[in-house]
Amino acid sequence: MEDPPLQKIAISGPTLASLIQRFSTSPSAIHGLLFGHVTHLPLTLSDDSSSSAPTLLATVTGFLCSPSFYDSSGTVLPSALRPHSSLLGWFSARRRSPLRPSMREFSVTSSLSSLSQFSSPIDNSNPNLNNSNYREQPFLFPPCVFLLLASPPSDNAPSSHVHTHEYRAFQFRTGPQCFEPRSLDVVNIGPAFRGHYGAFSSNSRLPALDCGLRGSPMDEGSDERLSGMKQAAKDQRELDGCAEGFEIGRLSRMVGSDARSYTEGLEELYQKMLVKIQNLTSLVEKSSAMVLEQENHNRKLKHKILRSAAAE
């Protein structure tokens, strides 16, 4: 059965930046595995009953540099790969080369796509059982995503300190045995990308935060313990000031099915925290300047005392 087509491939901004940074700092070409998940895009209602099944979105959430998962002929070694339900495909990053797959990359991708034991389950794979075309779609997606990164082949770069990298995403179709280009959507955090996180649910419950002070300073009879407790209380008051109006009970409602309605409040809290951090940064900068000035003054006094002692 032919693999279902992807409409596009998405990757988070931090993941792509981390991959480019690994490529930039590597002395040679690198390649490795891509991990993530495949989900159905929302089905667009249409009067045309002959419309095809819902298209798919592959989201890359992580990568792993692994130089030894295939041999010199481009055949993937299953023994070098651990069974993983979130394997989407692999990536290759090379310097000063055109942005098109090579014959070896073709062989590696074809070999990896044929390994059915590494296929990923498709999330939300039961939206429309009345569509006969949809029932024919498989519920497992093979690791056929290929991400190619390359630096420009020209050496006429304006500066060696500026790193320019190009990237392109492909889906390998096992039926016709060919690469098909796919658009790469870089997902960033912000209001414009809020729809990507609308169905977020936590994998583990938030731990209960116990902010009470335990013990008594008279138990140890130590001034250091008492001063430490006072400092902890002061720090807690500062944290409470930063999260004013957002107690733990309210913050817990921002995780789960009601998260969408509280997103704006969380963004407002984040802006307030940025302002407080900026003020704290200014205070640290001023205090550092005062410390430097005091150190220079002490150095001058020390030199003056040494000169007076030498004159005597």
Greatest mean pLDDT among 49-53, 167-171, 284-288 lies in 167-171
CA-to-CA separations, 300 to 297, 306, 309, in angstroms, rounded: 5, 10, 14
The β-bridge relationship of strands 166-173 and 56-65 is: unpaired
Residue 215 contacts residue 208 (beta carbons within 8 Å): no
Q: Which residue has the higher pLDDT, 128 or 306?
A: 306
Residue 285: phi and psi, rounded to 5, are: -65, -45
- Partners of 38 in beta bridges: 58, 122
Assigned superfamily of 6-188: Cytidine Deaminase, domain 2 (3.40.140.10)
CB atoms within 10 A of CB 140: 15
Among 137, 111, 121, smallest CA distance to 52 is for 137
Q: Are 164 and 157 in contact (CB under 8 A)?
A: yes
Quickly list DSSP for 192-203. GGGGGGTT---S
Average pLDDT over residues 79-100: 84
The residue with greater pLDDT, 271 or 43, is 271
**Direct distance between the N- and C-terminal alpha carbons of the chain, in angstroms, rounded to an integer:** 99
pTM, full prediction: 0.54
Distance (Å) of CA 64 to CA 19, 115, 141: 9, 19, 20
Q: Mean pLDDT lowest for which of 21-25, 121-125, 267-271?
A: 121-125
Q: CA–CA separation, 84 vs 120, rounded Å?
A: 8
Of 27-36, 144-153, 192-201, 251-260, minimum mean pLDDT range:
192-201
Long-range pairs of 242-249 with CB within 8 A, sequence gap ≥ 24: 242/272, 242/273, 242/276, 243/269, 245/269, 248/209
